[in-house]
């Protein structure tokens, strides 16, 4: 089973693609499948399914939506610093954020998922560095996170250029 560790929203062209999906690797297929399940659960507000794709502890990267003031997680530093939290706390925040919105019907979700691509990015263990979608307080102004052996980094891209990165780790 793979668990989603982080999600990072990016602007167009910040993540590099590879042909990793074309290899047919079972790990890549599983990671892409997990990312698809996670996106479907997010869109469908399926919080029970999200419990299966998030680990018990989640790290929100700087700039994450739930670090906005209205959610009360970030503290005085706002969205420029990341924040560790429990899966339960994150899912409660999602429920609260969606309380006035009904999930779209399944066929609408299916149509939306056909408009995005899921690709595995080639990553090596160690520090992964990328340009942030918003300014962050690091020495070099970039986002840093650790890739462990076996981790998969999945790029979810819309045709309009919106991108989300999911880091998944075998658990």
Domain holding 59, by residue range, is 2-170
Cα 129 to Cα 80: distance, rounded to the nearest angstrom: 16
What's the pTM?
0.74
What would the two tokens of residue 57 be?
Answer: 């502890």
Q: What is the pLDDT of residues 24-53, one digit of tens each?
A: 455 555 788 889 989 999 999 999 999 988
What would the two tokens of residue 129 be?
Answer: 């560095």
Indicate the number of domains in the chain. Answer: 1
What would the two tokens of residue 163 be?
Answer: 């991108």
**Of 157, 156, 128, 155, whose CA–CA distance to 143 is shortest?**
128
Q: What is the pLDDT of residues 11-29, one digit of tens each?
A: 333 344 333 333 345 555 5
């Amino acid at each position: 089973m793979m668990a989603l560790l982080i999600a990072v929203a990016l602007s167009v062209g910040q993540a590099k693609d590879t042909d990793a999906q074309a290899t047919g690797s079972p790990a890549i297929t599983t990671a892409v499948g997990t990312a698809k399940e996670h996106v479907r659960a997010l869109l469908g507000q399926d919080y029970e399914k999200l419990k299966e794709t998030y680990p018990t502890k989640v790290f929100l990267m700087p700039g994450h939506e739930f670090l906005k003031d209205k959610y009360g997680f970030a503290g005085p530093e706002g969205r420029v610093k990341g924040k560790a939290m429990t899966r339960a706390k994150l899912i409660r925040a999602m429920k609260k954020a969606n309380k006035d919105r009904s999930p779209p019907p399944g066929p609408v979700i299916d149509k939306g998922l056909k408009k995005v691509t899921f690709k595995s990015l080639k990553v090596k263990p160690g520090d992964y560095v990328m340009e942030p979608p918003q300014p962050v307080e690091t020495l070099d102004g970039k986002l840093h996170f650790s890739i462990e052996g076996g981790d998969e980094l999945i790029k979810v891209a819309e045709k309009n250029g919106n991108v989300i990165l999911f880091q998944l780790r075998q658990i």
